[in-house]
Amino acid sequence: MLDIRFIKENPELVQDHAQKKGYTVNIQEVLDLYSKAVELGQKQDALRAEKNALSATQGAGKPSDDVIERGRAIRAEIAQNDEAFVAATKAYEDAMWQIPNTLQPDVPIGGEEDSVEIKKWGEQNTGAIDHLDFATQRDWVDFERGAKVAGAKFYYLKGDLALLENAITQFALNLVIAKGFTYVTVPALVNTKTATGTGFTPRSSDQSDEYFIEGEDLSLIATAEIPLTGYHADEIIDEATLPLFYAAYSPSFRKEAGTYGKFVRGLFRVHQFNKLEMYAFTTPEQSIEVHEKILAIQEEIWRAIGIPYHVINIASGDLGAPASKKYDLEYWSPVDNIYRELTSASNCTDFQARNLNIRVRRTETGKVETLHTLNGTAVSLARSLVAIIEHYQNPDGTLRVPEVLRSYMGNREVL
């Protein structure tokens, strides 16, 4: 959620950026709703003050009929005004949730096709066997039994492919710990406050991508970003301790609503997968530099594994509500001769932190203000396996183990 003061001072900018993100909002209507809620709140305060003053004048004697009548009238007016105030406040808050974060100046404007390539690494080789065909032939993945147990797009990993997933995780985890990230485990379920505050779909949405628990105020996490954001909810963090870096490994659950027309074959887009996520809490001045740091770590991981990729600066219409800027690292697919998303890194500035009341206390002034949050995928394991199978397969049906992963696979070179 944006700061209402910022919106009041920059209504045209907020309106313009919302439209560039593809959001249909009317900022003037939001400001009108805010003014109405403030006006009713002030009226309520004035009525309560009058009621208290009236009570103070009564003393020990019996109040006059006029005083009694006025007291009754004030109580009735307070009750009526309170109902209007609650309704106006809810209307204002609901409208505020519809406003996305603003854009950083260098974000490309437009839809998905307008994202801009900013760097590239590795050769664009061609002519590989599709990962699903390759893995199925080796009896490494079983979607049929996954569907029998849980439904379509659930799966079992078996044998060497499951071990390879673990090797990727251990390699990436060791790397991010060496970069200063603290490893934490996180709940796989979060309440609506945390999910909505992070910027994910609230329970009432018909287009929700999250799995909700019936009868509980809980949903399964779509990414460890969600519980990591909530970790410091309603806290004030001393400036001297920032930035804070966390890394969390977790299962991720997604309905994959709205994926019609996107690449969905095999392991690339599934309803459950494991992921190692990086997360940072920073001062506003630190967030741009930390965003670049997260991207650099992602690049280091995939260069070490040996997967060709490019990095794109995501266009405004493909950013979503929380991010003010996002990078996607996409690997080169020698099967389809196209780049496909492997990781992303987002700077959400103060948008998530304001929702969950996460603040920083400045060292010199003692002033308390909203801090910034950032997130980035270290490795999304299902897609990581796709990329490795496509690039390390041999003609005889075996799979080479990337050199940096061999120590995590019993020093085996081929699977």
The string of DSSP codes covering 74-139 is HHHHHHHHHHHHHHHHHHHHHHHHTPPPPPPTTPPPSSGGG-EEEEEES--------HHHHHHHTT
With contact defined as beta carbons under 8 Å apart, do 54 and 70 qualify? yes
341 tagged catalytic: yes
With contact defined as beta carbons under 8 Å apart, do 221 and 253 qualify? yes
In sequence order, what are the residues at sequence separation of 6 or more whose Cβ sits closer than 8 angstroms to the Cβ of residue 268?
A: 131, 340, 382, 383, 386
Burial (CB count <10 Å: 0-12, 13-18, 19+), residue 404: middle
344 tagged catalytic: yes
225 is in an annotated binding site: no
272 is in an annotated binding site: yes
333 is in an annotated binding site: no
Partners of 119 in the beta sheet? 311
**Selected catalytic residue, list 50, 299, 341, 369:** 341
270 is in an annotated binding site: yes
CA dihedral 334, 339, 340, 346 (to 10 degrees): 150
What DSSP state is assigned to residue 414?
Answer: B
The string of DSSP codes covering 269-289 is S-SEEEEEEEEEEE-TTTHHH
361 is in an annotated binding site: no
Packing angle of the helix pair 381-392, 159-178 (nearest 10 deg): 110
**Selected catalytic residue, list 165, 210, 219, 269:** 269
Q: Length of the chain, please?
A: 415
256 is in an annotated binding site: yes
255 is in an annotated binding site: yes
Neighbours of 316 (CB within 10 A): 22
35 is in an annotated binding site: no
Q: How far apart are CA 361 and CA 298, in angstroms?
A: 30
> Helix (H, G, I), strand (E, B), or coil: what is residue 314?
coil
223 is in an annotated binding site: yes
**Selected catalytic residue, list 115, 324, 344, 384:** 344
341 is in an annotated binding site: yes
**Selected catalytic residue, list 254, 340, 354, 359:** 254
Residue ranges of the annotated binding site for ATP are 254-256, 270-273, 341-344
Residue ranges of the annotated binding site are 223, 254-256, 270-273, 277, 341-344, 375
Q: Which residues are catalytic?
A: 254, 269, 341, 344, 383
Residue ranges of the annotated binding site for L-serine are 223, 254, 277, 375
